[in-house]
Amino acid sequence: MTSSRVIDLPGRITSTGWTLPRNLDEIDWVKCGKALKLADQAVAWWIGDWWVYGVEREYGDGAELAERIGFDYGALRTYGMVSRNFGLSRRLDNLSFGHHQSAMTLETHSEQDRWLRRALREGWSVGRFRREISADAAANRTQAIDFNAGELGKYSLIYADPPWRYESPPMGSAARAVENHYPTLTFEDIAALPVQDIVHDDAIMFLWTTAPLLMRTQQIITAWGFEYKTNAVWVKHQIGMGFYFRLRHEHLLVCKRGNMPCPPESARQDSVIESPRRGHSEKPPVVYDIIELMYPDVRKIELFARNRRRGWKSWGNQVGAITVDEPSNIIVEAAE
């Protein structure tokens, strides 16, 4: 079907509606539907190609032309940018303009083409396509962070809150996806981090995980050279989402390596940590206090850290400023 046939529709068409002929039979009605489908997929490309045509011929000032025609100038520039980047031979018929626009975040044409072919093969929506590109970029950034044991040194205590990637779709809209809040990693990516290179033979690890991922987290524990021992539970004040229970707790796993001793009885705390929810995935600051009370004199490192803590080494691609002590809802103190 040619473009002239796409826009050659029967009846009376205005900017606010379409009055179809009374005698339109089913065959012609289906043809109209196919024409509309093609137009819906193609109109962004048409606008982009039209705009590039005029810009290349220097028909006038872009902003003035857009105003004269009644188009938003910023939108026209976006259409034109995508059309110019993707020549006719690189456009995939079964993917939308939005897919191609999303691929523009990738640096090279070969990367863009590879990801677009993958989106076509996997049947990804535009939203899913964007999340996959973002997640891959996050993995590359994290893997690019220097994890040199010689520079990081050796530690007897690991505290980690990995950016888990969930395979199940988010509850509600795609806007609830974890990737909208921070970059995530696959289990394989997390397990591949050479954590064993930076821990002593005798060490302890405090590892955050969620209820849906509890059993799978053993993969990380084993890969990092630890053995699961017990856990504490953070109970939040607000109820959350969930496919079976509406969750308001997370697990803080305690894992051991070698002959690391248990904390003294006077430093052992309640296994239930009650504290309000903070920012997305942000953990209660009081956990630092708990850990420091249990193991005050060992070298500590926090992996996937967002903040810096005095006396700790912080590693991650989101490390921010030194934490500010804040009052908590539980008392951390040594038992008498």
Mean pLDDT, consecutive 10-residue segments, the chain of 336 residues?
59 89 91 87 92 88 86 91 94 93 92 94 92 76 56 88 72 47 74 90 96 94 97 91 89 96 93 84 89 94 88 75 42 49
Query: Tens of pLDDT along 261-275?
Result: 999 999 999 999 999
pTM given for the model: 0.58
The amino acid sitting at 327 is P
Domain boundaries, given as residue ranges, for the chain: 3-138, 148-315
Cα separations in angstroms, 79 against 18, 67, 100, 317: 26, 16, 11, 33
Among the CATH numbers 3.40.50.360, 3.40.50.150, 1.10.760.10, 3.60.15.10, which is that of 148-315?
A: 3.40.50.150
pLDDT of residue 321: 41
User: How many distinct helices (H) and strands (E) make up the chain?
Assistant: 11, 9
Q: 122: helix, coil or strand?
A: helix
Determine the pLDDT at residue 331. 45
What is the side-by-side strand order in the sheet with 249-257?
272-274, 227-235, 249-257, 199-209, 155-160, 300-303, 312-315
Q: What is the pLDDT of residue 210?
A: 93
Which residues are registered as beta bridge partners of 256?
204, 227
194-215 pLDDT tens trace: 899 899 999 999 999 999 999 9
Nearest to 289 by CA among 190, 188, 127, 159: 159
- Taking the C-alpha atoms of residue 211 and residue 244, their distance in angstroms, rounded to an integer, is 11
Dig out the tokens for 159 from the structure.
């505290």
Strands 17-19 and 12-14, how do they pair? antiparallel
Residue 290 has a pLDDT of 96
Closest alpha carbon to 266 in 316, 334, 220, 193: 334
CB contact at 8 A, 65 and 77: no
CA 77 to chain centre: 28
